Structure 1
Amino acid sequence: MKILAFDIGSNYSSIALHDDGNINSFSVPASPRQRPDWEYLFSKLELIPNQILNSLDGLAYANGPGSYTALRSTAVFLKAIAYAKNIPIFPISNLEALAWQAKDWMDSFPVEINVALNADQGKFYHASYKLSSQNIETVSSPKICSSEELEKIANKDKILVGEGWLLLSDKDNLLKSVQANASSVASLALHYINQGNHFDNIDVDPIYLSETTFKKLNS
């Protein structure tokens, strides 16, 4: 199966192609609120857009939470391709994709992974997931939290993943090697496809978390 995946964040852009078990990916830093340079990303994987898009089985993208500009640009771009080529889009939470990537670093299961990414105005996106050797389950859904709330979570005996934790004091349980990229988005999308999950192209909009949807974490 051939899946083209994107993870476009506020400070990075990433593309990955999964082709029958082989994953080729590229990531590059980006300026906040900068629109993705699609031609540049395709070129770094030596992909010719018209050729690769005609051979895809599907598209996948990290649909948030995150930068409004980056997420909206990605969704609009991929929806147009999906419609023109009649292929599905697989929306994947970037927080969940990071937790899924952490699976490769675990020695034993099950394990709970707490993911935190930077949000605007000194806030953070947080979610937690339970990993087994073959599956992932949501423990707490994505929320916006403060640095004080994040510090309380970090002080607990839990495994931490994501750039959000870097702004706090160093933690021995932080997996710094696990970083956001499109490879984990493609891998998790394929996991769900193999489980028989189906996605509808009309329900692939980005996840926007803002102060209007602010949810306090349980203390």
Structure 2
Amino acid sequence: MRILAFDTSTEYCTAALLMDGDLTYREVHAGQTHSQLLLPMCQDLLAGAGVSLAQLDGIAFGAGPGSFTGLRIACAVAQGLAFGADVPVLGVGTLLALAEASGAARVIACLDARMGEVYHAVYRREASDWIAESGPLLCAPRQVPAVAGLDWCGCGSGFKAYAEPLQARYGAALVSICPELYPHAREIARLAMPRIEAGQGMAAELAVPLYIRDKVALKICER
């Protein structure tokens, strides 16, 4: 399988190329320059591997939740590249990518959503697959869903921005916390591979971001 993957849902811009089990990637702390960086990163990966877009089995992107602008960039680039090369597209959840990156079997994935809220999901690994126990959803840090049992790994920027309320909520259930983790194209490529192989890729025009928050333009008092 040959899969090009990328993510622009956070301040990082990442791209990865998975070719028959071998993974290469690029990453940059982009700030707000994702639109300038993403295509050159993808082109660099393809050129380095000596493959064209038309030789890919699929293109995967971080579908969200995350930065509204970043999600639109990733989706638009995926659509443009896939349409021209006639290859399928697959959106992969950013919170699921966080869970995959953690290396843990029980994960509370939490991204800072700004405006005093977090993007949140709870995942449990079974064999080679992930089971979503809750989410993805948007909520205040003090209102995140409870989890059953112990040995949970908390990961993502939400655990940095709202460390106190999240640790108070989960207490002894948390065996480790990885606030430095962020959604990355490496994990998006790995998660996409079996789904694309199973024929779950879609036509370019059907790809859409997962926003969750619909009224981003409203002030906190209006919300």
TM-score by length of 1: 0.81
Give distance in 1, aligned partners of 2:17 and 2:133: 29
CA deviations over 1:107-145 (Å, ceiling 9, x no partner): xxxx43110011131211001111123111111121111
Give distance in 2, aligned partners of 1:21 and 1:30: 27
Q: 1:208 aligns with which of 208, 211, 214?
A: 211
Give distance in 2, aligned partners of 1:50 and 1:91: 25
- Are the counterparts in 2 of residues 36 and 70 from structure 1 also a CA contact under 8 Å? no
Gaps of 5+ in 2: 168-173, 217-223
| Most deviating of 47-56 and 203-212 | 47-56
Q: Classify the secondary structure of the residue corresponding to 1:35.
A: helix
What is the RMSD computed on CA atoms of the aligned residues?
2.9
- Are the counterparts in 2 of residues 35 and 69 from structure 1 also a CA contact under 8 Å? no
Give distance in 2, aligned partners of 1:5 and 1:145: 28
| 2:134 is the counterpart of 1:132 | no
Give distance in 2, aligned partners of 1:197 and 1:140: 26
Q: Classify the secondary structure of the residue corresponding to 1:59.
A: strand
**What is the CA-CA distance between 1:10 and the residue it aligns to?**
3.1
CA deviations over 1:27-74 (Å, ceiling 9, x no partner): 111224853523432365373799531321110001001111111122
Q: 2:178 aligns with which of 175, 180, 186?
A: 175
User: What amino acid sits opposite 1:191 in the alignment?
Assistant: P
Give distance in 2, aligned partners of 1:71 and 1:197: 23
Q: Classify the secondary structure of the residue corresponding to 2:55.
A: coil
Q: 2:196 aligns with which of 181, 184, 193?
A: 193
Alignment of 1:96-111 (within 5 A): 96-102=96-102, 105-106=103-104, 111=105
* CA distance 1:34–1:85, change in 2 (3 Å): closer
Gaps of 5+ in 1: 214-219
| 2:159 is the counterpart of 1:165 | yes
User: What amino acid sits opposite 2:200 in the alignment?
Assistant: H
CA deviations over 1:136-186 (Å, ceiling 9, x no partner): 111112111112224x859x8422121211121476521356442100000
| 2:94 is the counterpart of 1:94 | yes
State the identity %: 25
- Are the counterparts in 2 of residues 10 and 33 from structure 1 also a CA contact under 8 Å? no
Give distance in 1, aligned partners of 2:68 and 2:33: 8
| 2:82 is the counterpart of 1:79 | no
- Are the counterparts in 2 of residues 10 and 32 from structure 1 also a CA contact under 8 Å? no
Give distance in 1, aligned partners of 2:54 and 2:202: 20
* CA distance 1:144–1:94, change in 2 (3 Å): same
- Are the counterparts in 1 of residues 57 and 196 from structure 2 also a CA contact under 8 Å? no
Residue 118 (structure 1) aligns with: 112
- Are the counterparts in 1 of residues 13 and 38 from structure 2 also a CA contact under 8 Å? no
Give distance in 1, aligned partners of 2:32 and 2:140: 21
**What is the CA-CA distance between 1:204 and the residue it aligns to?**
1.8
- Are the counterparts in 1 of residues 17 and 46 from structure 2 also a CA contact under 8 Å? no
